[in-house]
Structure formats: structure tokens, C-alpha cells
Chain A
Amino acid sequence: MTWVKTAEVTFSGSSAVNIDGCFSSAFSHYVVTRNLLGSVNNENLNVRLRVSSTDDSGANYRRQEIDAASTTIAGVRATGESSWRCGLGRCLTSQLGYSQTRISNPFEAVRTTAWTDWSYNADSTIGLNRIVMAHDLTTSYTGFSAIPASGTITGTITVYGLKESA
């Protein structure tokens, strides 16, 4: 599998980052990575799908997550939300946080699905979280927004299309 960069944006002190035109018919599956600092520690970095330069903020986002912290493993399911909560993980103030989000079929007129793996490893703790996500509509999307639940974010978001190797 080859990763082909379709978008990359670097920003500072932003309350939202909108990326248009990163999804197209050229790819079915995408990976979104980010290296970010948040102005609010451990804040959720939510995701909204986007088309025609407009966020889809309808209550059509669902997620199932599993969170492992020490010996405690917790599960959460939510439906009818207006964004994928934690779709790009959470932001830390003290060190760059990494996550990887895979988004499948955003451009096709089918339900978009996604999953995210991210870890939190600052402030003398460590844990991991996996979230699987789906959208209820069969809309074709061309981009997405990254939205911190509060505060601002500084860093880089990169989008790759996944291409089958010969």
C-alpha cells in the first residue's frame, strides 16, 4: 500500500481547521495524521465531514470506542451526534500528540466509515483509545473539519490517499 499525500496544512492558534478537496474519486481510503498542541490539555479533537465548503453538522455521526487506562477498560457508544467526537484523538498542551485516522469511502455516495487509534502519554500517564465511526448519510464528501472542543490548536494535519501497490 502506498500513501499519497492529498493535503497538508500547518496552522497556529486556530479554533477550527477546514480542509477542502482532499477526498476525491482518486482514492477510496484515506489516512489522516496530525502533530498538534492544544491550548487546553486533553481536549477532544472532533471531526466533521465537509462538502461544498460547508460542514455537515447534522446529527448523523455515530461512534463506538474502547479506552484502556491501566487495568481499566471502558466502552462508549454514541449515536445522533453532530460530529465524530475525538475523531482525531485528543490534544495535549505539553507535547505533540499523534493519532492515526482512517477514513473509508468519503467521496463515494455511500456511508462513510472511519476508525482512529490514538494514545495519551503525557503527564505521567499512558493509555490507548480506539474509536470506530460511521456516518448515517450517503453523501459524497470532499473534505473535513478538525474542531477542538474548546480552545485552539497549533500544528500540522496531513491527509494521505491509500493506493494499492502493484
Chain B
Amino acid sequence: MSTPTVVIHDALTGETVVRDMTPEEIAQREADQAAAAAAKQAADAEAAAKAAAREAAITRFKALGFTDDEISALVLP
């Protein structure tokens, strides 16, 4: 795999440099990607838990005799 590149533009001089990322920049990029993956996993888990709780609530409302329209009015999306 080729080394990722970074573009550096100096607005004061108008100069633009393209170079390979340094080992430190690559390490930061990998850390960013790991953090993003962990955050997504946590968000997905939270969303799944909310969805499960919502479905459980709907099931219990139905068992109590609520109609679908009544449940829709009570249970927010």
C-alpha cells in the first residue's frame, strides 16, 4: 500500500506542497480511525438498545388494548 499523502497550502505565499505523511501523521490517522470505529460501535449499540426498548413498549401497550393509532400518538419515533 502506498504511503498516504498530505497537501499543505500556505495562504500567505500561495505555495502548495504535496508530500507523504510522516510516521507521526500516519499514527494520528490510525488513532483517529480507531476512535471513529469505537464511537460508531457505541452509537450503534445505543440505537439498538433504544429500538429494542421501543418495540418492548409497543408490545406492552398492545397487550393493554391500545390501538396502533393510540400507540403511535404515545410512542415518539
Q: Are the chains A and B members of one assembly? A: yes
Mostly helix, strand, loop or mixed at chain B's interface? mixed
* B54 interface contact, C-beta 8 A: no
Number of interface residues of A (CB under 8 A): 33
Asked whether A20 lies within 8 Å of B9 as measured between CB atoms, the reply is yes
Which of A81, A83, A149, A159 sits near B11, CB closer than 8 Å? Answer: A159
Enumerate chain A residues within 8 angstroms of B13, measured Cβ to Cβ.
21
* A150 interface contact, C-beta 8 A: yes
Residues facing B in A3-19 (CB within 8 A) are: 6-7, 9, 11, 13-19
Interface string of B1-36 (1 = CB under 8 A from A): 000111111111100101001000100110011011
Closest 7 A/B residue pairs (Cβ): A15-B4, A7-B11, A9-B9, A21-B12, A21-B11, A11-B7, A22-B11
- Besides A20-B9, A82-B32, 20 new A-B residue pairs in contact (Cβ under 8 A), listed by A number: A6-B11, A7-B9, A7-B11, A9-B16, A11-B16, A14-B7, A14-B18, A15-B4, A15-B5, A16-B21, A16-B25, A17-B7, A17-B9, A18-B9, A20-B8, A20-B12, A21-B12, A46-B32, A82-B35, A149-B33
